[in-house]
Structure 1
Amino acid sequence: MRFLYGLNPLAKFLAPAPAMVLLVFVRDVATPLAFLALAYVLVLVGVRFTARTAGILVGAIPGAVALIGIGFSLWTDAALVDGTAVVWRFGAWTMYSGAFAIGFSTALRLAAILSLALIAGLSTTGPDLVRAMVQQLRVPYRIGYTALAAFRFVPRFGHELEVIRQAHRVRGAHGGRGPFAAAARWAGYIVPLLAGAIRHAERVALAMDARAFGAHPDRTERHLVPWRARDAVFVVLFWAASAAIFWTFFPWGAA
């Protein structure tokens, strides 16, 4: 059932890419709602349902739609929508239904683009994406795996920062409250964090040299990420569904 994990990462990026680009230019509400529903169905069926997934789908995206929609409604120029129905009046300030339509169409458009990106984001790992780019797109492995090693520095920095903070806490260094104490604490983290980063970079460089990284134009992959027939079928079906949605609502005629 969780079929998205078995697809090639490039297929999961390629399938929603045209719809994500075209959604930038739509101005109605129905089209982004349709893509939002399509993305939700694919994520709920194809991705393992975890607390993080539930928080994104149930909390983060609807909350962002509400906040962005109300914000853009308040910022919409009333002169552009003064021919629509009045929702409420507050003194000299009037809220029109056209402002709500503009605000929430923009919010739903952003939410639909984000939801389509989650199809690949929630079911793809960094190493598999790099392997697919190297194997299918012929990206030089020197670039792909070097970028992957750089990205993996980020969680390493987080771990080392937590270790440094615990060590400072045990020693009672930079105690106290207030902005000056916080600035002193963060200044005390910089030097050991940089030293740890340099040590980690040296170890990574030595490990890559020991494996003759970059010595040959290509390398043997232990884990293959092939492009299968199901990947092509997924891309074609998604493109067909996207074309059907755009054909049905034809949002460019409603601008």
Structure 2
Amino acid sequence: MSTAVGAAPTRLTGVNPVAKLAAALVIAIGLVLSIDWVSALTALILEMALLLVLRVPLRTLFTRASMVALAAALTAVTILLYGESRGTVHWHFLLITVSDGSISLAVATFLRVLAIALPSVLLFVDTEPTELADGLGQVLRLPARFVLGSLAGVRLVGLLGQDWRYLGYARRARGVADQGRVKRAAGQAFALLVSAIRRGSTLATAMEARGFGAHPTRTWARPSPFGRREVALICAAFVIVAVAIATSVATGHWNLIATR
């Protein structure tokens, strides 16, 4: 199953997925060093500018950003209610304490999760799993057995939703789907697990029979070039992290996580 079906062409099209992965990791590692809202907000603004320069469709940008924002908001709410109690306490109930410290930490957490997850999601908006596998095998020189096994697993994940629907149809046709929702979902989930294990075992046997992983080295059908565009993308990620950290230090908000 393709992850890039219907995706509009962007300047990321044709960029080696390994460079996209490296850029996302650079941003993530740089932003987890400190818990402050200044560095996260600075990085988020620069990331949005970079994504616009790369011509990521606005519809795709806002759709995926809203999903990431929802996950970040849920994390922030947890920090708000159960985070560090410091400064003025605005509300307290049993284990829940909302204070100045928990509010500032919740805001910083929301921005940080958004700034880390957004490039990780959007940089791969038009990346095929096969392209990523080619990059991992040719650029990073990972073992072909691991790369091809991972690719096969990713492609099988796309079939789980279809299997879930078919299992539901079959159970209703046999009259075994009339119990409560929890019991029905548990039984169907177990059936899906058995089906997935069986399909995975069959695929592994077929790949072994075809000689996948039989030799330490192998050839690849498609080249995976790594050139100027890839280097430029990684450099842009380093610039984003450097500017974010410098801004945070200059404004006095830098809060190294190791010192907390």
TM-score, scaled relative to structure 2 = 0.76
1:170-185 paired onto structure 2 within 5 Å: 171-178=173-180, 182=184
Q: Report percent identity of matched pairs.
A: 24
1:105-140 Cα distance to aligned partner (Å, 9 max, x none): 122112211113224343323221111111011112
Q: Which residue of 1 aligns with 2:153?
A: 150
Question: Structure 1 residues 198 and 239, CA, compared in 2 at 3 Å: closer, same or farther?
Answer: same
- Asked whether 1:202 is paired with 2:238, we answer no
d(CA) in 2 for partners of 1:196 and 1:14?
31
Unaligned runs of 5+ in 1: none
User: Which of these residues, 79, 90, 111, is aligned with residue 72 of structure 1?
Assistant: 79
What residue in structure 2 maps to residue 30 of structure 1?
38
Q: Is the 8 A contact 2:28 2:116 kept in 1?
A: yes
Distance, in Å, in 2 between the alignment partners of 1:22 and 1:42 is: 17
Shift of 1:2: 1.0
Tell whether the 8 Å contact from 1:5 to 1:123 is kept in structure 2 after alignment.
yes
More helix by share: 1
Deviation at 1:154, TM superposition (A): 2.2
Kept in 1, the 8 Å contact 2:64–2:121? The answer is: no
Unaligned runs of 5+ in 2: 1-8, 256-260
Change over 3 Å in CA distance of 1:141–1:103 after alignment to 2 = same
Deviations 1:116-175 (A, max 9, x none): 322434332322111111101111212210222123232234323322322333x34214
Are the equivalent residues in 1 in contact too, given 2:10–2:56 (CA < 8 A)?
A: yes
Q: Residues 20 and 252 (structure 1 numbering): CA distance in 2 closer, same or farther, change over 3 Å?
A: farther
Count matched residues. Answer: 245
Determine the structure 1 residue equivalent to 2:239.
240
Change (3 A) 1:30 1:223: same
In 1, distance between residues paired with 2:181 and 2:243? 56
Deviation at 1:184, TM superposition (A): 8.3
Cα contact 1:3–1:47 (8 A) shared by 2: yes
For 2:241 and 2:194, the matched residues in 1 are separated by 48
* Pair 1:15-2:26 in alignment: no
Q: Is 1:60 matched with 2:67?
A: yes
Distance of 2:108 and 2:182 partners within structure 1: 45
- Over the aligned positions, Cα root-mean-square deviation in angstroms equals 3.5
Aligned-partner residue type, residue 80 of structure 2:
S
